Amino acid sequence: MSGPGPERTSGPQPPGNPDRLYILTGGQERPAATPQLDLVTLIVSRAESDTGLAPELAAVVRICDFPLSVAEISAYLELPVSTLTPLLTELLSEGKVEARPPVPAAALPDVQLLEAVMHGLQKL
C-alpha cells in the first residue's frame, strides 16, 4: 500500500488561504514560544487603538478595551485561533495588550474555586 497513512493531522494545519495567513502573521512563525495562550486566556488592551497597526491587530486592540477571551476574539474577528495566536503574541510582545492567564491547571481543581463556581451557577 502506498496510500497515505491513517488520517491524522500532525501539527498545526494552515487553515484557509495560506497567502493571507502569511501576510496576517507578517511571515513569522513562532511555534509554542512566548506565553502559552489558552482558549480562555483573557486579553485586555493596554493602549488606545493605534492607527499604525495592521487592521487585524488594530481590531484586537479595539475590541479588547474590556477583557475578552482568546476564543471570543477569534469568534468576533472570524479568525481561527491558530491564526489569531501569532497576532496576539505580537501584540503582547509589543505591550499593546496584556494577557490574564486562566486559573492554573492542577490535576484537580481547588476546592475554593469549585465552591465559587457552584455559587455562581446556583444564581442562574
Give residues in contact with other proteins (CB under 8 A): 2-4, 7-9, 12-16, 36, 38-42, 44, 55-56, 58-59, 62-63, 66-69, 71-72, 74-78, 80-82, 100-105, 107-111, 113-122, 124
Environment class of 100 (CB within 10 Å of its CB; exposed 0-12, middle 13-18, buried 19+): exposed
Contact 61, 50 (CB under 8 A): yes
Give the nearer residue to other proteins in terms of CB position, either 14 or 26: 14
Report in angstroms how near the CB of residue 80 gets to other proteins at its nearest.
5
Shortest Å distance, C-beta 27 to other proteins: 20
Q: Quote the cell numbers at residue 60.
A: 484586537
**Spacing of C-alpha 97 from chain mean position:** 12
| Minimal distance, residue 33 CB to other proteins, in Å | 14
- β pairing state of 42-45 and 68-69: antiparallel
